[in-house]
Structure formats: structure tokens, C-alpha cells
């Protein structure tokens, strides 16, 4: 179910033992790229600026990533991968299903509500007209990657007999759509404050309850 897409301990400046030097440099470049792209957008960041921020040469940046678009794609992918890793493991029974889906939704929404993520989406909306390939790269590394991952989790839950979904991709889209609702649009436009944890939890939980009434195995058995 995938979317088709064309140092020593006391010296932080020294690389960690057993870790290749090039890997440390690559991580430094990616971390710098995330900070700069999320703050200034694609057009507002040069490879030279990333190299300065990472304390490496331009040659090193090009050697690892080839060009700025590939660097941008990797930076977005790095952030979404961290978000996915922060989400709990899948449940083994129906009792843990609701809390697991709420945990996934909370992790996704916390990520989407980060000021720098909202900022880069605003920039993409504007700069995408001049750089359509940038929009493609953003979706492949960001939203599509997350939705593909969510489809895999839902498919696994269906194999466990916890969910019954005729179309997993459609069900995934519906769940993400309910989580985001008007909230993300309003936050992106700056006309609504970021909700606190209690309000966010209530919002995400309501979406999960609606989803489980439609696709939960226990609900399906009663139909």
C-alpha cells in the first residue's frame, strides 16, 4: 500500500569512536540544512550557507548530496523519519488499538504544528510555482512518505484482525484528514493559536473514535 512517486565523551567536537568521519560530516550537513531550510525556505538557502553552518566545505556537501534539491529532499526525509521513530509500537490486542492510534495522531500533529514545519509549507506553496520539482521532492520525502508509513501500520493492524478496511489507502487518507481538519490550515495561515496538549489530545481522540466506529473489527462485527 504505497503511493506512486515519480568524540570522545568529554569532547563534543570530536567524532564518536567507531563512527566513520564521513558519516559525522553527513549528519552535520543534514542538521544544518534542516535548520536553514525550515527557517528560510528553499530559495533563501544556498549550498555555501549550509556548508558554513555545518563547518564543512562545499565540496563535502556536493559529495554527499549532489545538489541543493537532493539536500532539501534528504532534510525533509530526516525530519519525518524522526517523527515516525518517536511513535509507539503496534498493539497486540484491541485494548491497545485506540491508544496506539491516538499516539500516532499526536506524534504526527505535533510534528505538523511545529512553527518551522508550518513555515516551510508556506514557502513551498509560494516557491512551488517556480520550482515544481521542489513540491514533488517535498511530498515524496514528507507527506507521501508519512502516509505510506501509516498505510503500512494500518495494514499490519488489519492482518492482526484489529481493523477491517476495504481500501487501506482511502482509510489512511480519511484518518489523516480528520486529524488535520481545519486546524492545520488555520495554523498555516496564522489565524489560530497552537492548541495545548489537552485540546490536541481531545481533537485527535475524537478522530480516532470516528475512525474505529467505521473500521474497527469490533464495530464491523456488530454490523
pLDDT, tens digit (0-9, with 9 covering 90-100), for 66-94: 999 899 888 888 877 776 776 655 565 66
Count of structural domains within the chain: 2
Q: What is the pLDDT of residue 6?
A: 41
| 147 and 176 Cβ atoms separated by less than 8 Å | yes
Contact yes or no for 143/137 (Cβ under 8 A): no
Which carries the bigger pLDDT value, residue 101 or residue 8?
101
Q: In whole angstroms, what is the distance from residue 67 CA to residue 50 CA?
A: 12
Domain hosting residue 46, numbered range? 21-66
Cα-based distances in Å from 33 to 41, 54, 113: 10, 8, 20
pLDDT digits (tens, 9 = 90+) for 180-220: 999 999 999 999 999 999 999 999 999 999 999 999 997 65
pTM beyond 0.85, yes or no: no
Residue 2 has pLDDT above 80, yes or no: no
**104 compared with 18, residue with greater pLDDT:** 104
Among 66, 88, 123, the domain-final residue is: 66
Residue count (the chain): 223
Choosing from 11, 38, 66, the residue where a domain stops is 66
Rounded to whole angstroms, the Cα distance separating 171 from 36 reads 35
Asked, for residue 2, whether it belongs to a domain, the answer is: no
Amino acid at each position: 500500500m504505497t503511493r506512486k512517486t515519480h568524540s570522545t565523551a568529554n569532547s563534543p567536537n570530536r567524532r564518536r569512536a567507531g563512527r566513520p568521519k564521513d558519516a559525522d560530516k553527513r549528519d552535520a550537513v543534514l542538521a544544518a540544512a534542516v535548520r536553514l531550510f525550515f527557517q528560510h525556505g528553499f530559495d533563501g538557502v544556498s549550498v555555501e550557507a549550509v556548508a558554513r553552518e555545518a563547518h564543512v566545505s562545499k565540496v563535502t556537501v556536493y559529495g554527499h548530496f549532489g545538489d541543493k534539491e537532493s539536500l532539501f529532499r534528504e532534510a525533509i526525509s530526516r525530519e519525518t523519519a524522526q517523527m515516525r521513530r518517536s511513535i509507539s509500537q503496534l498493539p497486540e490486542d484491541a485494548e491497545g488499538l485506540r491508544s496506539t492510534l491516538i499516539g500516532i495522531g499526536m506524534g504526527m500533529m505535533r510534528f505538523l504544528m511545529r512553527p518551522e514545519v508550518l513555515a516551510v509549507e508556506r514557502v513551498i506553496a509560494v516557491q512551488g510555482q517556480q520550482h515544481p520539482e521542489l513540491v514533488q521532492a517535498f511530498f515524496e520525502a514528507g507527506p507521501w512518505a508519512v502516509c505510506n508509513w501509516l498505510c503500512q501500520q494500518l495494514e499490519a493492524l488489519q492482518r492482526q484482525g484489529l481493523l477491517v478496511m476495504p481500501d487501506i489507502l482511502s482509510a489512511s487518507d480519511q484518518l489523516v484528514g480528520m486529524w488535520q481538519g481545519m486546524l492545520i490550515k488555520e495554523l498555516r495561515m496564522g489565524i489560530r493559536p497552537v492548541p495545548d496538549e489537552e485540546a490536541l489530545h481531545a481533537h485527535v481522540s475524537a478522530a480516532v473514535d470516528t475512525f474505529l466506529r467505521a473500521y474497527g473489527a469490533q464495530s464491523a462485527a456488530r454490523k
